[in-house]
């Protein structure tokens, strides 16, 4: 049995899994990313998670066929270098070689969102499709696509920055400094901004109590989920607005890319599932240029949940070694 280790490295947390070539998880380990550490310290953390996951899977590291990792930001897959990862305050970190030395394994590197979509294509919602577009909603909005069964990286490895498709140039300010990007409407950060604005206008919301309960300084996916369960009026409105713009984005992407499936991923989509996707699908379909009466074009949430990225990293390693 061929086994792989896959790591999903994020600015907030990281997770490592051991899986077989069909994506069956045999062991996993996760921890909070300690951003007080330098790059070497964080790479130590990563190695520990892989070792811990292998322990849980009851296998030795030298049993692995390969190791893959998805990192946030701009990466150079050929050289195994994280070129720029603002979340980690990393620039030009040779992650593949440094992690490889610790694990005594070749390490294949990819961009976190592209890798997560690869995971959904290999093992999740986009399985058995040849053409899939992913929209990942988190701190920002990332994306990527599978074309003819393969991840399409772009000329500079930057394909899939769909969070910076302009949906209304007079829209809210974006993290990139421009206005009206999709990310400025629909990321978790933008939703938090809108909740805070409503609160500042004197509207009642339970969001800040929920954050305090959970000792969170940010409006996490779990806070969003709980606030919706409590039928918080502000939260309901804010999520609906984000969904509306995600629908416009998904519709535009279907017209431009002609995929078989659009997968919505990231924390919010993984938690809220169909209730998150349904309004997005409806808005997107209202923008379809080509009629699709039989629903041939699917718009779905990711099915691997928190494992999309780590299993995608396993697929990355599998594809590199097979």
60 binds a second copy (CB under 8 A): no
Q: Considering only residues 229-288, where is the footprint of a second copy by CB under 8 A?
A: 248, 251-253, 255-260, 286-287
Residues 205, 195: contact at Cβ < 8 Å? yes
Distances (CA, A) of 291 to 108, 130, 249, 294, 296: 41, 21, 17, 9, 10
CB of 14 or CB of 181, closer to a second copy: 181
Q: Does 173 bind a second copy (CB under 8 A)?
A: no
Is 158 a residue that touches a second copy (CB under 8 A)? Answer: yes
Using the rule CB under 8 A, is 154 a contact of a second copy? yes
> Considering the rule CB under 8 A, would residue 161 count as an interface residue with a second copy?
yes
- 16 binding a second copy? (CB under 8 A): no
Select 65 or 161, whichever has its Cβ closest to a second copy: 161
Q: Is 91 in the site for a second copy (CB under 8 A)?
A: no
Beta-bridged to residue 14, according to DSSP, are 9, 31
The answer to the question of residue 178 lying near a second copy (CB under 8 A) is: yes
> Residue 33 or 189: which CB sits closer to a second copy?
189
Q: Which of 164, 193, 196, 199 binds a second copy (CB under 8 A)?
A: 164
> Phi/psi at 71 (nearest 5 deg)?
-120, 150
The answer to whether 99 contacts a second copy (rule: CB under 8 A) is no
Contact between residue 100 and residue 298 where contact means Cβ atoms under 8 Å apart: no
CB nearer to a second copy: pick between 180 and 266: 180
CB 266 within 8 A of CB 308: no
When the beta carbons of 14 and 151 are compared against a second copy, the nearer one is: 151
Q: Is 289 in the site for a second copy (CB under 8 A)?
A: yes
Alpha carbon 103 to its chain centroid, in Å, reads: 25
Write the burial class of residue 215 (CB in 10 Å: 0-12 exposed, 13-18 middle, 19+ buried). Answer: exposed
Query: Kindly report the CA angle at 130 between 128 and 132, in degrees rounded to 5?
Result: 95
Rounded Cα distance, 241 and 230, in Å: 18
Smallest gap, in angstroms, from Cβ of residue 176 to a second copy?
6
C-alpha pair distances (Å), 72 with each of 57, 89, 181: 26, 11, 19
CA angle 81, 85, 320 (to 5 degrees): 40
Residue whose CB is less far from a second copy, 248 or 316: 248
Query: Does residue 167 interact with a second copy by CB under 8 A?
Result: yes
| Under 8 Å between Cβ of 146 and 121 | yes
Q: Six-digit token pair at 176?
A: 């990139």
Is there binding between residue 300 and a second copy (CB under 8 A)?
A: no
Indicate the residue among 16 and 162 with the shorter CB distance to a second copy: 162
Contact call for residue 13 and a second copy (CB under 8 A): no
Candidate list 157, 172, 279, 305; residue touching a second copy; CB under 8 A:
157
Phi, psi of 267 (to 5 degrees): -55, -50
- Residues at the site binding a second copy, with contacts judged by CB under 8 A: 74, 130-131, 143, 147, 152-162, 164-170, 176, 178, 248, 251-253, 255-260, 286-287, 289-290, 296-297
């Amino acid at each position: 049995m061929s086994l792989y280790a896959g790591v999903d490295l994020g600015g907030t947390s990281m997770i490592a899994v051991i899986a077989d070539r069909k994506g069956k998880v045999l062991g996993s380990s996760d921890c909070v990313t300690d951003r007080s550490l330098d790059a070497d310290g964080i790479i130590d953390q990563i190695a520990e998670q892989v070792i811990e996951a292998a322990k849980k899977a009851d296998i030795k590291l030298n049993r692995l066929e390969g190791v893959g990792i998805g990192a946030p930001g701009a990466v150079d897959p050929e050289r195994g270098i994280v070129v720029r990862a603002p979340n980690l305050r990393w620039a030009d970190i040779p992650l593949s070689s440094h992690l490889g030395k610790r694990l005594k394994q070749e390490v294949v590197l990819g961009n976190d969102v592209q890798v997560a979509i690869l995971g959904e294509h290999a093992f999740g919602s986009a399985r058995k499709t040849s053409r899939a577009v992913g929209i990942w909603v988190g701190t920002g909005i990332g994306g990527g696509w599978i074309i003819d069964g393969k991840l399409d990286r772009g000329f500079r490895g930057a394909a899939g920055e769909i969070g910076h498709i302009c949906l209304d140039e007079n829209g809210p300010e974006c993290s990139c400094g421009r206005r009206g990007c999709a990310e400025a409407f629909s990321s978790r950060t933008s939703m938090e901004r809108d909740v805070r604005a409503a609160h500042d206008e004197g509207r009642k919301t339970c969001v800040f109590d929920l954050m305090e309960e959970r000792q969170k300084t940010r409006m996490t996916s779990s806070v969003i989920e709980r606030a919706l369960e409590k039928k918080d009026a502000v939260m309901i409105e804010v999520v609906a607005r984000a969904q509306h713009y995600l629908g416009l984005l998904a519709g535009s992407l279907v017209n431009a890319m002609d995929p078989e499936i659009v997968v919505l991923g990231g924390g919010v989509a993984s938690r809220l599932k169909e209730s998150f996707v349904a309004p997005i699908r409806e808005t997107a379909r209202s923008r379809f240029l080509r009629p699709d009466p039989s629903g041939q074009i699917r718009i779905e949430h990711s099915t691997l949940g928190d494992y999309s990225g780590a299993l995608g990293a396993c697929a990355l390693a599998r594809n590199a070694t097979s």
